[in-house]
Amino acid sequence: MTEARNPCIGIYPGSFDPMTRGHEDICRRALEFVDKLIIAVAHTRTQKKAGLFSIPERVEMIRELFSDEPRVEVDEFDGLLVQYAQKRDATLIVRGLRAVSDFEYEFQMALMNRELWDRAETVFLAPDARYSFLSASLVREIASLGGDVSEFVAPSVLERLNRHYSRA
C-alpha cells in the first residue's frame, strides 16, 4: 500500500521589480519538481534600492505572466520568509543564482532559514545561459535610459516599462 504524499509547495521570493525573463525561466523550471509554486513578492528589500513598480503592480504583472499556469500563485509578504513559508505550508525555497558572486549571500540565507525553521530547504537554480547576466536593476537602468529591453522581459512587462518612462 502506497502512502499519499503531501504536495510539494515551493516559494520563489524576490522583489521582481520588474520580473525578467531570467525570473520566468527559474519559475517555469521549478514547476518541473514542485506541485505548486508561490511567487512571493517581498515588501522588505534585501538591498536598499528605490522601487520602480508598487507591490500591487508587480503582483498584477506576475499574475498576467503566469495566467496560463494553474500551479502558480502570486502573493506578497512582509517579514521573515520562513514565517511566511510556515503559514503557507511550503518547505521548499527556490532561489536563482546568476553568478558565483550570488552564491555566498544565498548560501548564508539558506543556512539561516534552515536554522530558523528546520523544515526549510533551499534549492538553487541557475537560469538559462541567455539570462545569466540579467537582473531587474539592469533592466530598470537600461529602460530608464531609453534602451531596448524587449528581449529581457515579457511583452506585458515591456508595455508597463514604456508607459512608466512615457514611451508608450
pLDDT in tens, 136-168: 999 999 999 999 999 999 999 999 999 999 854
Residue 91: half-sphere exposure toward Cβ, Cα within 13 Å: 6
**74 backbone dihedrals φ, ψ, rounded to 5°:** -115, 130
pLDDT of residue 150: 96
pLDDT in tens, 55-100: 999 999 999 999 999 999 999 999 999 999 999 999 999 999 987 7
Domains, the chain, with CATH or none: 9-132 (3.40.50.620)
pTM score, two decimals? 0.92
Contact between residue 93 and residue 122 where contact means Cβ atoms under 8 Å apart: yes
pLDDT in tens, 8-25: 999 999 999 999 999 999
Output the CA torsion sign for 83, 88, 92, 94.
negative
Q: What is the DSSP letter of 72?
A: E
**Residue-by-residue DSSP string for 1-18:** -PPPPPP-EEEEEE--TT
Residue 76: half-sphere exposure toward Cβ, Cα within 13 Å: 17
